Amino acid sequence: MRIPFIAGNWKMYKTPKEAKAFAEEFKKSYEASSVKVAIAAPFVDLETLVKAFKGTGIGVAAQNMHWESEGAYTGEVSAEMLKSIGVTYCIIGHSERRQYFKETDATVNKKLKKALAAGLLPILCVGENLKTREAGGEKEFVEKQTVAAFKGISAEDAKKITIAYEPIWAIGTGKTATPKQAQDMCAFVRKTLKKIYGSEVSEEMIIQYGGSVKPANASELMNMPDIDGALVGGASLKPGDFLEIVHF
Ligand code: 13P
């Protein structure tokens, strides 16, 4: 059985003080259930959140990492460093990193391998832009991204990776994919994983939808058969909104 997993992605929002205030507020009304919950925060907030969420079961995620353990890479942070402060997850290959920081399928693959080797659980993002969607090329595009990301990764490791299907045209635009569009693409990602790893593995893997998920649409999306969770941007910044989503 797949355990639902809902993660908030704060992107470049919140100081440590604001992160702590969020955590205290969130904890007041959070009811632990069979749904896994995590917050992906800026690097400077991670230790604060690890401490604030201790004993709650709420996980802490980074939003990026480097593929080397250490070295002359000014401005970068390694998987081992994240692990050492109690971080559990790391988002890898978010479309904003691909778009603004030139991450490629090859660097995404290297980062996934390093995260797994260091004991971090990756949340891999895939998803097409509007131009690709309008040209009807979304499946081909997402298949290519998925196959490239998982290149050389064993079935056992693959099961540790959460995949977030995030159509770029639905991110921060308020334009959510319809539940049917989101379901179709999450099912397609699973089909792609089945081709690589077989159905036993693909049926176990957690696939999230991301893109304008909010309290009003979370339960409809979460009820789709191949959508096992959500990666939530804007609506994860307010404790009340994110609580409604995780208690969907
Ligand atoms: P929004 O929920 O703000 O559309 O962002 C989605 C996202 O990019 C999460 O990683």
Average pLDDT over residues 73-84: 98
The pTM is what?
A: 0.98
Pocket test for ligand 1, best of 39, 91, 126, 231 (most atoms within 8 A of CB): 231
Average pLDDT over residues 178-187: 97
Tokens found for residue 154: 């064993």
Average pLDDT over residues 153-176: 93
- List b or e across 73-102, with b for residues whose CB sees 16 or more CB atoms inside 10 angstroms: eeeebbbbbbbeeebbbbbbbbbbbbeeee
At residue 173 the predicted structure's pLDDT band, cuts being 50, 70 and 90, is confident
Could you give the CA distance from residue 70 to residue 76 in angstroms, rounded to a whole number? 9
pLDDT at 174 over 80: no
Residues 6+ apart with CB under 8 A from 46: 60, 62, 82, 85, 87
List helix spans (H) across the chain. Answer: 16-29, 46-52, 79-84, 95-100, 105-118, 130-134, 138-149, 155-158, 179-197, 199-204, 215-222, 239-246
Average pLDDT over residues 172-193: 93
Average pLDDT over residues 209-232: 97
When divided into structural domains, the chain yields a total of 1
Place of tokens 């179709």: 184
Contact 225, 183 (CB under 8 A): yes
Q: Report the range of poorest mean pLDDT among 171-175, 193-197, 224-228.
A: 171-175
Q: What is the DSSP letter of 78?
A: B
Half-sphere exposure in the Cβ direction for 65 (13 Å, CA): 36
Domain enclosing residue 75, as ranges: 5-246
Residues 6+ apart with CB under 8 A from 135: none
Tell me, what's the pLDDT at 205? 98
Kindly report, residue by residue over 197-211, the tens digit of the pLDDT: 999 999 999 999 999
Average pLDDT over residues 140-150: 98
Tell me, what's the pLDDT at 146? 98
Q: Is 42 exposed, middle or buried (0-12, 13-18, 19+ CB in 10 A)?
A: middle
Tell me, what's the pLDDT at 134? 92
Percent of the chain residues past pLDDT 90, beyond the cut:
96
- Local structure of 160: helix, strand or coil: coil
Kindly report, residue by residue over 113-122, the tens digit of the pLDDT: 999 999 999 9
Tell me, what's the pLDDT at 229? 98
Could you give the CA distance from residue 48 to residue 62 in angstroms, rounded to a whole number? 13
Could you give the CA distance from residue 242 to residue 232 in angstroms, rounded to a whole number? 8
Q: Report the range of poorest mean pLDDT among 171-180, 202-211, 223-232.
A: 171-180
For ligand 1, what atom is nearest to the CA of residue 234? Answer: 3
Could you give the CA distance from residue 127 to residue 170 in angstroms, rounded to a whole number? 10
- 207-210 vs 59-62, strand pairing mode: unpaired
For ligand 1, what atom is nearest to the CA of residue 95? Answer: 8
At residue 175 the predicted structure's pLDDT band, cuts being 50, 70 and 90, is confident
Taking CB atoms and a 6 Å cutoff, what residues make up the pocket around ligand 1? 9, 94, 166, 171-172, 210-213, 231-235
Residue 20: which CATH number?
3.20.20.70
Could you give the CA distance from residue 54 to residue 69 in angstroms, rounded to a whole number? 26
- 36-40 vs 162-165, strand pairing mode: unpaired
Residues 6+ apart with CB under 8 A from 212: 170, 171, 172, 173, 174, 175, 176, 233, 234
Pocket test for ligand 1, best of 9, 13, 208, 241 (most atoms within 8 A of CB): 9
Kindly report, residue by residue over 80-110, the tens digit of the pLDDT: 999 999 999 999 999 999 999 999 999 999 9
Tell me, what's the pLDDT at 133? 95
Look up 94 and say whether it is catalytic. yes
Kindly report, residue by residue over 9-59, the tens digit of the pLDDT: 999 999 999 999 999 999 999 998 989 999 999 999 999 999 999 999 999
pLDDT at 172 over 90: no
For ligand 1, what atom is nearest to the CA of residue 212? Answer: 4
Tell me, what's the pLDDT at 56? 97
